[in-house]
Amino acid sequence: MNPGCPNSGCNYFQKNTFCKKDGYYLRKDDSRQIQRYKCSACSKKFSRATGTLEFGQKKRRINKTIFKILSSGVSMRRSAIILGVHRTTIDRKLVYLAQKSRQMHADLLLKIGTQKVERLQFDDLITTEHTKLKPLSISVAVDARSRVILGAFVSQIPAFGHLASLSRQKYGKRKSYHRESMMKLFEKITPVVSPYAEIKSDEHRIYKEVVREFFPNADYKQYKGEKAMIAGLGELKKNGRDPLFAINHTCAMLRANINRLFRRTWCTTKKPKRLEDHLAIYIAFHNSVLLS
């Protein structure tokens, strides 16, 4: 079927009433023959590739490979070396794959919304923005039954503990956007979670009020944090059966498969927006590949 006219000024915008075939061209990057079209109403010429996220790309063949290796603990610079491309190409592919992954995730949430999540777990994972004096929080929610990641949002938080005074001295007072991030997360997942769901988390002070605002009728339980299985591995717990296993295991997988989240690494996040993009890619990979 002919695609619709992409000219917004045309009377037949996004309609294929007067669109006819107008030859084709051979796309060098993937050796495919692409059909061209012409709108008889406004004389606009276009092809099947017009308007797609991949439009104008020169290296389409590596898209699937980058999607896999960026979700497998490989850094962006090492990805460039492995694939024999410039690191700027990887940076552009990261943005493109994040857009595509968000579309995949939106489609998945629409599918989940017809059944509703009955068991929800959520928590925060702490990472840094270039230095430990500038921490970030990643709020993550998962379906405890299927282990599907429902959403993740990055927020700026102030330094805490023995680094707090040094952080204020070097970078000034750092505002916390953690509450806003939690609100965004719950606004996103509310349509797919049952209002009477079983919700579990740790005893963070703001969790209860956020849950009660969005799910006043839910069966909400909070659990005290436990010691890690191994020193430094805070996501997997040591004693007995972990009531928050689904979210803790998911956070451990995030640290294991996203290079910039490794506990001991020289690969750090310079821009929180890029961390959000990388998370979007991993979430799509986790839900569509690892859980399949």
String of DSSP letters for 223-244: E----EEETTEEEEE-SS--TT
Predicted local confidence at residue 66, as pLDDT: 97
Which helix or strand (DSSP H or E) is residue 190 part of?
none
Mind listing the pLDDT tens digit for each residue in 68-78?
A: 999 999 999 99
Collapsing DSSP to helix, strand or coil, 287 comes out as helix
Predicted local confidence at residue 1, as pLDDT: 65
Domain locations in the chain as residue ranges = 1-55, 62-290
Predicted local confidence at residue 51, as pLDDT: 83
Q: Provide the terminal-to-terminal Cα distance of the chain, rounded to the nearest Å.
A: 32
> With a cut of 70, which residues of the chain have pLDDT below it?
1, 226-240
Which pTM was predicted? Answer: 0.88
